[in-house]
Amino acid sequence: MSHQWNPGQYLKFAGHRLRPALDLLARVDADDAKTVFDLGCGAGNVTRMLAERWPAARVVGVDGSPEMLERARAENPHITWTHADLTAWAPSMPADVLYSNAAMHWLPEHAALFPRLMEALKPGGTLAVQMPRNWGEPSHTCMREAAGPWLRKLAPVLPGVPVAKPEDYYGILAPVAGAIDIWETVYLQILEGDNAVPEWTKGSALKPVLDALDPNERKAYFEAYSALLAKAYLKRADGRTPFPFRRLFIVAKR
C-alpha cells in the first residue's frame, strides 16, 4: 500500500464506501472496549465513527499513506494517527478491537496475516474485517482487457484475486477464534455523474494501474477502460449508473 493515495478521489463516493463500514461496525459486540485500532484507516472518516462508538477508548488509526493520514490528522486532531506498513504492524499492547474496512485485500498471505492479528487481541477481543470481493466483475476484469499494448508494463500491478472464498477464511480462523461470523453482501450502488464506474475504481483498485503509466499512456488507457465499462454498466435515462459490488465481512472473537 505504498501508492500516493488521493483522499479527494477516494472520498468522491464516500456515502457508498461508508455503508459497508457501518454494516461491519454494527456487528461488533464490544461495548467495553478500551483499545481500538482502525487498520488501513485512510482519511479517517470511519475512524471518527469508531471514536464516537467508543468515546472512553484509546482509538488509533493506522495507515501506510502519508497523504491519507495528513487529511485524517487535519480533520480529527483528537484521534491518534500512526504511519505504518500493515504487513509488519503489531499493536504495542493487546487490543480489544482490530477493525479494518476495505484495506486487508491490499496485503498478501492472509493465511498467516489473520492468525497474527488474532494473536494481537486480548482474550475475548474482536477482529472485524470488510474486504471487496468484486474481482471477477467487469469493473476489475476490464482493467486487464484494456491493457492492450501496455500489458507487459501493467502485468505486475493488474489486480488478481486477493480475497479468498468465505469458507477459506473460516478454515484460516477456526483454529484461533472462539466465535466466527462470516457473510457476503452485494450492494447495488447507484452512482451519479458521467463515467461513474471508472471514476469509482480510479480512487481504489485502478490507481496502481494508472500510476504505472506515463501521462499520455494513462489517458489512452483510461479512455479504453472507460469505453469497456460503458458497455458493462449502462447509464440509465435518469443519468444514474447501477453498479453491483460484492463485499466480504468477517467478525471473529478470540
Alpha-carbon distance of 249 to 115, in angstroms, equals 16
Q: Is the pTM of this model over 0.75?
A: yes
The SS3 assignment for 99 reads strand
Note whether residue 124 is domain-resident. Answer: yes
The CA R_g of the chain, rounded to the nearest whole Å, is 18
Residue type, 198: P
Note whether residue 1 is domain-resident. Answer: no
Note whether residue 236 is domain-resident. Answer: yes
Note whether residue 77 is domain-resident. Answer: yes
Note whether residue 19 is domain-resident. Answer: yes
Quote the number of domains for the chain: 1
Number of H helices, E strands in the chain: 11, 7
Alpha-carbon distance of 39 to 143, in angstroms, equals 27
Note whether residue 180 is domain-resident. Answer: yes
Closest by CA to 222, choosing from 206, 235, 236, 246, is 206
Note whether residue 2 is domain-resident. Answer: no
Note whether residue 69 is domain-resident. Answer: yes
Angle, CA 246 vertex, CA 218 and CA 102 arms, to 5°: 65
What count of other Cβ atoms lies within 10 Å of the Cβ of residue 194? 11
Query: Cell numbers at residue 216, please?
Result: 499520455
Q: What is the pLDDT of residue 16?
A: 77
Alpha-carbon distance of 156 to 161, in angstroms, equals 13
pLDDT, tens digit only, all 254 positions of the chain: 445 544 444 444 456 788 999 999 999 999 999 999 999 999 999 999 999 999 999 999 999 999 999 999 999 999 999 999 999 999 999 999 999 999 999 999 999 999 999 999 999 999 999 999 999 999 999 999 999 999 999 999 998 999 999 999 999 999 999 999 999 999 999 999 999 999 999 988 999 999 999 999 999 999 999 999 999 999 999 999 999 999 999 999 99
Query: Cell numbers at residue 173, please?
Result: 480462523
H-helix or E-strand spanning residue 147: none
CATH of the domain at 229: 3.40.50.150
Q: 176 lies in which domain range?
A: 7-253
Contacts of 117 (CB under 8 A, 6+ apart): 39, 98, 127
